[in-house]
Chain A
Amino acid sequence: MSAPDDTGTIGDAVAGFTSKLRGGDLGSLPVVVGLVIIAVLFQALNPRFLAPGNLVNLTLQAAPLGVIALGTVVVLLAAQIDLSVGSVSGLASAIVGVCAMRLQWPMLVGIVAAIAAGALIGAFYGFLLSRFGVPSFLITLAGLLGFLGLQLALLGPTGSINIPFSNPLVQFANTWFLPPWAAYLIVGIAAIGMLVEGLARRRRRARADLPLSHISITIVKAASLLVLLSIAVWYLSLDRGTAVMPVLFVLLVVIMSYLLRRTRWGRSIYAVGGNVEAARRAGIRVTRTLVTAFVICSAFAALGGVLSAARLGSATTLTGTADTNLNAIAAAIIGGTSLFGGRGNAWSAVLGVLVISAISSGLTLLNLDASVRYMITGAVLLLAVIADSLSRRSRTSHGRA
């Protein structure tokens, strides 16, 4: 047996990709295709859909939900679920409102308090899960109600706290845009970073005498990232430009992606999600892994709540209720993170939230009301879950279960 030869040109990469697809390992292909279909469909129905102004709004709207979905991805990867992310985000927005407006504390203290409360809730879930062995489904279902109640109690009889538009947090979420040069600079740094990382990886593999992919693949990847992001920045700059909040979201995704793929902690999350007994026997501290997953999920949910309060300029009884919960979970699943645990990655939060927000934005443009929006989002979620199950079945029949 020997390591495969030093081939791996672009042709091979494409061949490998199609073989993966046939084996049922669909990756993010269905969601990308779905996004294109959605874009074409809504553009045909209302030409304003793909207008720069609407896309700028879409990025602003997607970011808070995306942050919540990012935390959900981590919990799903560990083969758990958190049904209370909506309530926790609502509670966090109420905490920010109370701290900043009623108590007149500095804004930053309120934000930190809200995120800390989220982390504490996650630790509490982790404790309940490991101490009593109650399924996370039930613990977080109880949390959904409990923290919704706490949110209502915090907001008091008026049921809402307005945060004035002059507040820096609200400005951050509504009016902070990157100047074009800064946006292009970030794009350039991202592309160069990808290139440098890819080349360094190749060098390390060459030194370790491992099979290499052709250097053109690394270059093509970085170049396509550069081109795609530049087009996006240019298109958004036709309107108000690239907002800071979505950039923050993507930055968090990059960080989480790194932690999940390149650290022991990330490996333990995947292992626990794939086969918890195997992980335990390999000496992984399962309890600690699960607690950290819930802490991260709830902390991200809280941050998402803070961002959505900032976006709306108020913390109300409606923040984080209704569809936030399921939208966040749906986004993670639509983006390609498996409900069955152990499969998926941080970027599925980005793809999934784009789909959810695009549908929501398109339907709003068509003046359809909430009833239709719920039904359509539900149908898309159903499709995503069916795709997940089908690809799992196909993997089984191709011996890739």
Chain B
Amino acid sequence: MTAYDVSSARDELLDPVISMRGISKSFGHIQALRGVDLDLYRGEVVALVGDNGAGKSTLVKILAGVHPQDSGTIAFDGENVSIPSPAGSQDLGIATVFQDLALCDNLDVVANLFLGRELGHGPLDEEAMEQRSWELLRQLGARVPSVRVAVATLSGGQRQTVAIARSLVGEPSVVMLDEPTAALGIAQTAEVLNLIELLRDRGLCVVLISHNMADVQAVADRVIVLRLGRVNGRFRAPEMSYEDIIASITGAMNLGDRKPDSGGAK
């Protein structure tokens, strides 16, 4: 059983893209996050796991600019930042794919991909957007019949792909995926997992929230376990075992008192 190995060579070479320290957030008298420390690096897949109400979604929403944290600091590329709005999060280079995908069913694939950041001065440049859409979807190996069909006509996996492709339009450095495989079949899940690896290989930091341990073990380089608003376990890829993660999620085991991912080295 291994907790996270602080002296990993890679972590010393790279500085974290996002570094969160002492993040707390409460809603009324419910304390959703209590002093969470977390570092995220480029080129890795970090899985956030935990039981319902553990604080995973709250943590992601803070980074996505949906709610601000009550206390604690967030540094992006070493500089302290505040993320007051979804637009602020996007401007930093953090893209979020929410569980409900947030697609407009009535609009076509191109319009969805570029929603809120359409190309063209004055009138929309439909041709440039369509061309770029094909490029993006091709890079992701997506099988979409046409980029000019309404998103409503696509299958669940295709919709997920469109949502992920959309997160890439702004060329982010961090992509956060909230339960990307929850509603998908086996083949479609495999496609999305491939996609996640593709993003990592392109040097992005992928944050994955999932309840599905098989998915997490398949793609995650690191697993961060949240329990009752605290980090209750940190695991690194080859050494993590299913039993340990579950024990950490349920609270049978507590590994959370260590300093954050790279903190010991600094």
Contact = CB atoms under 8 A, between A and B. Distances in A.
A2 to B, nearest CB: 8
Given A267-B118, A282-B115, A284-B116, A274 B107 contact: yes
Interface string A336-350: 000001110000000
Interface string B4-16: 0000000000000
Interface stretch (A82-90, A110-118, A393-401): A393-401
Contacts of B101: 278
A281 interface: yes
Nearest to A79: B106
Contact of A264 (B124, B142, B144): B124
B85 to A, nearest CB: 8
B104 A281 contact: no
A270 B116 contact: no
Contacts of A282: 102, 115-117
A401 B128 CA distance: 27
Given A274-B106, A342-B106, A283 B123 contact: no
Nearest to B143: A1
Interface string B136-152: 01100111101000101
A392 B141 CA distance: 31
Contacts of A323: none
B173 to A, nearest CB: 18
A271 interface: yes
- Interchain residue pairs A-B with the least CB separation, the first 8: A282-B116, A342-B106, A274-B104, A274-B106, A278-B102, A283-B116, A282-B115, A208-B127
Contacts, number: 95
Interface string A201-217: 00011011110000000
B118 A205 contact: no
Interface string A20-63: 00010000000000000000000000000000000000000000
A208 B124 CA distance: 15
A273 interface: yes
Contacts of B105: 274-275, 342, 401
A1 B138 contact: yes
A291 to B, nearest CB: 18
12 contacts: A1-B142, A1-B143, A207-B127, A210-B134, A271-B111, A279-B104, A279-B116, A283-B117, A342-B104, A343-B106, A399-B153, A400-B150
B251 interface: no
A208 B132 CA distance: 10
Given A1-B137, A1-B144, A282-B116, A270 B152 contact: no
Nearest to B124: A262
Given A263-B124, A282-B115, A395-B152, A208 B131 contact: yes
Given A274-B107, A342-B104, A264 B118 contact: yes
Interface residues of A, number: 35
B175 to A, nearest CB: 15
B14 to A, nearest CB: 30
Nearest to A277: B102
Nearest to B137: A1
Contacts of A4: 146
Contacts of A280: 86
Nearest to B132: A208
Contact of B106 (A1, A207, A210, A273): A273
Contacts of B155: 399
B103 A275 contact: yes
Contacts of A209: 131
B98 A281 contact: yes
A395 B153 CA distance: 8
B104 A271 contact: yes
B90 interface: yes
B89 to A, nearest CB: 10
Contacts of B130: 205, 208, 210
A400 B152 contact: yes
A372 interface: no
A205 B127 contact: yes
A204 B127 contact: yes
A398 B144 CA distance: 17
A186 B44 CA distance: 62
B240 interface: no
Interface in A253-271: 262-264, 267, 270-271
Contacts of B90: 283
A103 interface: no
Contacts of A210: 127, 130-131, 134
B75 interface: no
Contact of A267 (B124, B127, B144): B124
B131 A399 contact: no
A3 interface: yes
Given A1-B142, A210-B127, A267-B115, A278 B103 contact: yes
Interface string A188-224: 0000000000000000110111100000000000000
A1 B127 contact: no
Nearest to A273: B106
B87 interface: yes
A401 B152 contact: yes
A288 B127 CA distance: 27
B154 to A, nearest CB: 8
B111 to A, nearest CB: 6
A275 B98 contact: no
Contacts of B116: 271, 279, 282-284
B25 to A, nearest CB: 19
A269 to B, nearest CB: 11
A46 to B, nearest CB: 41
Contacts of B123: 262-263
B172 to A, nearest CB: 14
Given A4-B146, A279-B116, 11 more contacts: A1-B141, A1-B143, A204-B127, A205-B127, A270-B107, A274-B104, A275-B105, A277-B100, A282-B115, A341-B106, A400-B153
